[in-house]
Amino acid sequence: MPLLTAQEHQGLHFQYPLPGQAGSSLTRTALSIALVAAAALLGNPAGAAEEASSPWKLGGAIRFNYVHKSWQDEYKSGFFGLDTARLDLNYDDGSLIGSAQYRYNHFPKGQGGYWQHFLHHGWIGRRFADKGELHVGLDRNPFGLLPFASTNFYESIAFYAGLEDKYDFGVTYLSKPGPLEWQLGFYPRDGGSYGGGSNTAGKSNRYSYNIVPDDDKQGYGTGQRDTERNTLVGRLAWHPGPAGRHEIGVSGLTGSIDNGMGTRTRRHAVAVHYQGSYGPFKLMLEALRYRYRTAHGPTQTYNGLDPNSFVMLGGFGYPFPVASKGDIYIANLSYDIPGKLGPFSGFKVYNDYGVLRKRSGAYKDSVQNVTGLTFSSGKWTFYTDFMLGKHHPYLSPDLGGLASTSAAHDGFTRRINLQAGYYF
């Protein structure tokens, strides 16, 4: 559940209650709402003129979701609850720049009934005279379609394979804007793990889906202890034609996997992409191939699977297995509807399609399709997503479906997501 919108390039910095601190889940929820509301009131204490002259910008959001899953018989009417509270802090004086964001998630029982908090991103940097930038800290990997390989709220299937909207600790350089742009990043470590409820896997309390150690209680009990190290990412993008309405790009990624027992192996990914605007239409295409080479022992598995045919990825509180090698194809089309309807505007309809074709373990393909509408009113943004998929941990009961698939869940299942978010 990536919980992303196009507005989320803004940063945040805030600390929520840590594990072990006193307070019920209801108290934590109320506290998060109160603090975000207070920040919204204090975000412009001296008036618009002073805010415009200050290099500091404080912001944030609070979001609520209604969700219905076709496979959840115990929630035939769906469920509603708080999704995310977050705070952003940005700095830009023209030369020195920085951005940070901290989030608190609290999901109702139908979504697992758990809470967590984590640093989404946090970096400081410098903008050079040619408008190129250097960032140091927890920052987005420059890989594939940017800023997202999707239009919908839950992003694309690449996100769940750790290849979209991914943040790691390191150094990122972005070249000057222009017809030909390039980005390069080196990340010695992943984004780290943070805090969450007792019913979460500690190493998976994070935003980005990274290769993580499995969890005996909240995971699959495989004993895998892999972590990501020394990731190098590069991206080249060409903007032919006028006004930069089209982009053709290629990306590459390489890094090591530490198995926690003194052995390091390699992981690689390559991608080509295109995105372009045709009047009110926007088309996004991406094809990528990845391979995670692992060094798992014969007992580091579950259900008798080849232990090196999958790797554990974790985020949003829980780990799940993903095929160790595969191809991902993405095709998205959106249309901007002009005009207003009462207080509402910015209407966009879209269809995002993605498939993971696995090349290990003779596993079946995983599919994700999202048809939706987004619009806004003032500081409110709304998403209505109809999601269809199979062999996918967020679109089906087949929680291990990005690797081995269950014969009991071989058909398509549906998920409806209605979301309202207030951004300040």
CATH of the domain at 398: 2.40.160.10
Tokens of 122: 């946090």
Q: C-alpha distances in angstroms, 4 versus 10, 150, 162, 167, 354?
A: 11, 10, 15, 13, 17
pLDDT value for 259: 96
Count of the separate structural domains present in the chain: 1
With cut-offs at 50, 70 and 90, classify the pLDDT of residue 399.
confident
What was the pLDDT predicted at 51?
Answer: 53
The helix/strand/coil state of 16 is coil
Q: Is the pLDDT of residue 4 over 50?
A: no
Give 361's pLDDT tier (boundaries 50, 70, 90).
confident
Q: Is residue 333 part of a domain?
A: yes
Q: Which amino acid is at 162?
A: G
Among 307, 315, 312, CA closest to 225: 312
Does 336 map to a domain? yes
Residue 410 has a pLDDT of: 87
Long-range contacts of 154-157 (CB under 8 A, 24+ apart): 154/1, 154/2, 154/370, 154/385, 154/387, 154/394, 154/417, 155/2, 155/4, 156/330, 156/332, 156/352, 156/354, 156/368, 157/328, 157/330, 157/354, 157/355, 157/356, 157/366, 157/367, 157/368, 157/392
pLDDT at res. 360: 92
10 is a domain residue: no
Residue 225 to residue 297: CA distance in whole angstroms? 11
Residue 1 lies in a domain: no
Tell me: pLDDT of 22 over 70.
Answer: no
Residue 242, C-beta contacts closer than 8 angstroms, at least 6 positions apart: none
0.85 exceeded by pTM: yes
Q: Do the strands 380-390 and 366-377 form a parallel or antiparallel pair, or are they unpaired?
A: antiparallel
Residue 2 within a domain: no
CA dist 309 and 294 (Å) reads 9
Query: For 313-356, what is each residue's pLDDT tens digit?
Result: 999 999 999 999 999 999 999 999 999 999 999 999 999 999 99
Kindly state the helix (H) or strand (E) to which residue 352 belongs, with its residue range: strand 345-358
What's the pLDDT score for residue 370? 98
pLDDT of residue 112: 87
- Whether residue 285 contacts residue 275, with contact meaning beta carbons closer than 8 Å, is answered with yes
Q: What helix, strand, coil percent values describe the chain, rounded to 5?
A: 10, 50, 40
Q: Is the pLDDT of residue 6 over 90?
A: no
Q: Domain span at residue 381?
A: 25-423
66, 71, 2: which is closest to 396 by C-alpha? 71
Cβ proximity of 347 and 336 under 8 Å = yes
Q: Is residue 359 part of a domain?
A: yes
pLDDT of res. 146: 97
The mean pLDDT value for 50-56 works out to 76
Collapsing DSSP states into helix, strand and coil, what is residue 171?
A: strand
Per-residue pLDDT band for 52 (boundaries 50, 70, 90) equals low
pLDDT of residue 302 exceeding 80: yes
- E-only strand ranges, 7-112: 56-69, 79-92, 96-106
> Could you tell me if residue 113 is inside a domain?
yes
Q: How far apart are CA 170 and CA 102, in angstroms?
A: 18
- Whether residue 14 lies inside any domain: the answer is no
Q: Quick check: helix, strand or coil at residue 158? A: helix
Task: Report whether pLDDT(17) > 70.
Answer: no
Kindly list the distances between the CA atom of residue 202 and the CA atoms of 70, 192, 199, in Å, as whole numbers in the listed order. 29, 10, 9
Q: What percent of the chain has pLDDT over 90?
A: 81
**pLDDT above 50 (res 138):** yes
Residue 25 has pLDDT above 70, yes or no: no
Q: In angstroms, rounded to a whole number, what is the distance separating the alpha carbons of residues 386 and 403?
A: 24
